[in-house]
Structure 1
């Protein structure tokens, strides 16, 4: 280490840099650091001069880090955490005193299950920490993990992840049929003949055919799609008013049944099972707030 050169650097700038990486906003970083916006803007100007790079570019979605900023964050994030641990002897995260916003990315079927549980926990435990849930899916998960705003991403376990991505299993499950028993009189469980003859609503990010279509086609049937929606929220009004059946992940099916008094049935096909994983970027690994968040989610995993 070149001590002489390092003495010329204000190491507080690195704290500002990491806050900007996490918040993607000068305003939010200033609030988090209890500084004025002008002070954070001045620090950003000095950081740009120090590293010889713009570091962040302003977009409609916020301040997007440059490749150089991402590389810097991956190296100094764990370092700052280690320094804090040396000075404060591994400080614990206190959700009842923290104003931090925890940013989670997930598909809306998981949001349907987790958002109300997180809200109830926050009330019961009197946490001050906030939760912000952003949309992602199995096709867009990498963008969510690489977004410095997000603390953690929940998605169907990817086949490959990359060295900069850490993960742990969150939950596993299969699929169920769900329908409105006041509009459809079906056997329990639903028979294959009934299933093949019914009108279906398909839920898919790209509203394209999926495994149900393929398995029915293999048995000589074409699924009768009444409509296709890209979000699970679209099922609420459809299942409330329309005599259709939906085949969706069991956690979402059970959540909708609680809301709408629907009927559940096993799928009369040999459907796949899936595993959901929690994924995060290596730059946040080991921080007290991230360890706390993962502990909270592990407590909810059994319910999901």
Structure 2
């Protein structure tokens, strides 16, 4: 028996990826068997429909631009977008596509990468966020701060940085152990996030040190008002397993452009300002304590 090649459609149905053929307007002319597994639609339900109808609304503009590039002769190998599955959830797809002008069709091979994209997002989050509090970490802060400075240069708006250090935090660990300390840090993070505007950024940059980034902050007076508001939130007693705990914070302020021209300079200035505030508060507390002791001795 002389072997013969099976119909191409039978071969394509064995592929784990979706294969689509569309015309110049994006109408589906052919889909293989994996299309139903990935998108939920049978060939009968989609043939003749425009494939753009299945694209996630947020990705349609980018998908249309990509299709134009393909039809201009550019081979696309790693374009990603999202589609809406028949049951309503979104699926991430990575495409390879080519335009065949002699046939007037565009061929695309799509691989589902939903799980891969989830893992990528998880890794991106871990790389940019503090694992304990979920806040931005120091690296993310530097990137966002420099971006805010660049934007401020273009618009003439300001940027403020508030550097916060918790006063008395060591007593929490001494009193309740690290679990109590971790609980308190998460509560502090939540209060700080609740105390800033949408678009502001709160980061944890050290054990008990936090930074609030205020893009578009008009001036130092506005920054001080935000700092006092955040400090007031933190002085409300925290509830720990063994009772209430009172905390305070020292907050240093630095504003662009007066206090620094780049992210490193602004953070350093705010850090120094925070230590100056902490020293002032410590000196004031020591003075009050000495005064009370003197009064007691006089009595």
TM-score, length of structure 1 as denominator length: 0.22
Looking at both structures, which has the greater relative contact order when contacts are Cα pairs under 8 Å and sequence separation is at least 6?
1
TM-score, length of structure 2 as denominator length: 0.22
